[in-house]
Structure 1
Amino acid sequence: MAIALMRIGVVRNPRSHANIGRAEETSTPDAVLLVEPATPEALEQDLEAFAQCGVGLLVIDGGDGTIRDVLSLLPRAFGDNPPLIALLPSGKTNVLAIDLGVPRDWTLEDAIAAARSDKAVIKLRAPLEVRWDDGRPSLRGFVFGLGAFVRATSLAQNVHKLGAFHSISVAMSVLGALIGTVMGGARDEWRAGVPLCLAVDDQDKRTADRFIVLATTLKRLPFNLMPFGPPREGMKYLEVDAPPRRLPGAFPALLKGRDSAWQEQYGYRRGDAERLRITTDQPLVVDGDVYDGGCGLTVGLAPTLRFLAS
């Protein structure tokens, strides 16, 4: 069906960084359904209404957290037939938009015009799906992290309070994490790591303290950082034993995607996976927000979605 005939639904987060103070002055084109749900329950109801109305283009106006919330509830509303998704990157961090190449200043009118164009660029991405053993609702997002990444996320939130956003906040958080880790001793909270049991696909479980565990399905990160190696499809992961060894030399090489013969020997492992099986009582991060651990969980691949890039 041509996009011109599709219903268009917009989920706007008025609390997103770029939306604060401008909601009243932002107009919505005719025939566009706009919602601003204040709770997860309201968001689920709105998405169900979108599905019943036949929405074919879903525009998410918010940051990475808003995208995660929408994608996590999308299957309940749309089942196996999700709509085409467009992003208006209005959050404090917009890592998925950077990966897709979505212009930072994209407006709703720009997204609709791009969708109606014969030259519309559509990119495919499969989100991560985090499933807890205790039955709590699963999450679908694009960046999962444990250990030092949780501390770096808290640092990023402090950076936001100083007025740094987007890629700048990512760079400042990475730099702060590096300084804190290198300057600390083996028992420092950055270097000590967190206890967990991890199995990659069908490999044997390994219980040990980890400095950091990361996973993503993104292909491009801010500032062309490549901690998972060269850009490629699928889920990529990185795990580093605690306390990290030879960190001043390993850190730059990891961020640039370079492999060294000594990396695995000193506790630096990265690769591709279909599934990560983790048992930990430590907090974890999914797309910029911290969640409780407290039980076993599985990080896998969710079905592929279509995103409008430009």
Structure 2
Amino acid sequence: MASRIFQFSSLPKGTAPALDRVEGGPARESGPERNIGEAPRVGVIYNPRSHGNKGADFDCGMSPQVFIAKPGDRAQLPEALAKFARQGIDLLVINGGDGTVRDVLTSGAAIFGDKWPALAVLPKGKTNALTVDLGVPKGWSLQEAIDAFDEGSRVQRRPIEITPIGGSPDARALGFFLGAGAFTTATTAGQKAHKIGAFNSMAVAVATLMGVSQWLFASRENAWRRGSKMSIGLGVKDVPMVHSGVGDPEFRQLLLASTLEKVPAGLKPFGKLREGLKLAATDQISRKSAFTLFKMIRGQTPEGIREKGFHQIATPQFSLRIEESFILDGEAFPPGEYRIGQGPELEFVAP
């Protein structure tokens, strides 16, 4: 999950957005616009390394309107997505988990721009938080996703967009769930949970239990309780986020950010906040706050939480300056200074 560090320098450069290609570049290979009653043109990114795909082949001959790509690694994604754009797909199906979704959205940003086709996600990863939010059932098939293009529902979501401050404007990563501080430690715990056969909501529950036990019994120097040295600036004006004064003011024990409206395992770290970009952060809270913490992760909002070191905030964007790595959808990102906002509005197909 977090065994490698994401490098913005590895992102493809100079890829024209799909809109530019349509206006001045090659025409679609597959002919005119879709007619009423005609099957949609579907592009499928199949990740053979995803947990739910290992040892299983994929039916590649179901329809001439279905184009399937099996990129061997992330570097091959831009070429596969650019071909889908030229083919004029109506639906992009991602067969993989949250990490595969992150890689597809990040690689496709320079290709589709703000003109993405409809998307569908088949939950095949070790973690599938996005499909939990979308209401996609476990075992949802490609044919069911294609049928849902015309007969199912549509869900709009904007991913988190991360850009290094002072870096290239084209260097950006897209995903749905960011975590730092104890969350980075929890990601390692999640890897251990995977090794004992716990995945999805069960893995979240195992990692949560490991974290709570460490938090209750470990010293302030323990990684679960210490968190990470970071500063957070809110909104366009980069207003410093308030600190309660509990613990070291230069540290936050935990930071979570997401545009998802439903989190696995029934957890509700953002309280009553649902739409858009949301933050949940804790200062170096004391063990006495255990009862408050349990209430909050179940969606309650006790009085005086900010004074106790708990913060739940909705914001269009924020800056993050952090001295340790953080996690986006399972992958570690290096320490540094970042601007974090919302990417393009995407339309997901759901049952």
| TM-score normalised per structure 1 | 0.94
Task: Give unmatched runs, 5+ long, in structure 1.
Answer: none
**Aligned ranges for residues 1-310 of structure 1 at < 5 Å?**
1=34, 2=36, 4-23=38-57, 26-31=59-64, 32-117=66-151, 120-133=152-165, 135=167, 137-201=171-235, 202=237, 204-205=239-240, 208-230=250-272, 232-244=274-286, 246-293=288-335, 295-310=336-351
Residues 97, 296 of structure 1: alpha-carbon distance in 2 compared, 3 angstrom cutoff: same
Alpha-carbon deviation of 1:5? 4.3
| TM-score normalised per structure 2 | 0.83
Q: Is the 8 A contact 1:220 1:231 kept in 2?
A: no
Alpha-carbon deviation of 1:109? 1.0
- State the distance in 2 between where 1:221 and 1:129 align: 19
Alpha-carbon deviation of 1:27? 4.5
Q: How many residues align?
A: 306
Q: Is the 8 A contact 1:10 1:58 kept in 2?
A: yes
Q: CA RMSD in A?
A: 1.7
Report the 3-state secondary structure (helix = DSSP H, G, I; strand = E; otherwise coil) of the residue aligned with 1:247: helix
State the percentage of identical aligned residues.
Answer: 33
Q: Is the 8 A contact 1:211 1:244 kept in 2?
A: no
Q: Is the 8 A contact 2:232 2:319 kept in 1?
A: yes
Residues 78, 204 of structure 1: alpha-carbon distance in 2 compared, 3 angstrom cutoff: closer
Residues 149, 133 of structure 1: alpha-carbon distance in 2 compared, 3 angstrom cutoff: same
| 1:113-167 deviation per Cα after TM superposition (whole angstroms, max 9, x unaligned) | 12132xx200000101011125373111110111000000111011101111111
Task: Give unmatched runs, 5+ long, in structure 2.
Answer: 1-33, 242-248
4+ runs deviating over 6 angstroms = none
- State the distance in 1 between where 2:262 and 2:128 align: 12
Matching residue of 2:10? none
- State the distance in 1 between where 2:200 and 2:315 align: 28
Structure 1 counterpart of 2:155, one-letter code: K
Q: Is the 8 A contact 2:228 2:323 kept in 1?
A: no
- State the distance in 2 between where 1:298 and 1:96 align: 22
Q: Is the 8 A contact 2:216 2:287 kept in 1?
A: no
Structure 2 counterpart of 1:48, one-letter code: A
Structure 2 counterpart of 1:285, one-letter code: I
Structure 1 counterpart of 2:328, one-letter code: V
- State the distance in 2 between where 1:241 and 1:79 align: 37
Structure 1 counterpart of 2:218, one-letter code: G
Higher strand share: 1
Q: Is the 8 A contact 2:238 2:319 kept in 1?
A: no
Report the 3-state secondary structure (helix = DSSP H, G, I; strand = E; otherwise coil) of the residue aligned with 2:204: helix
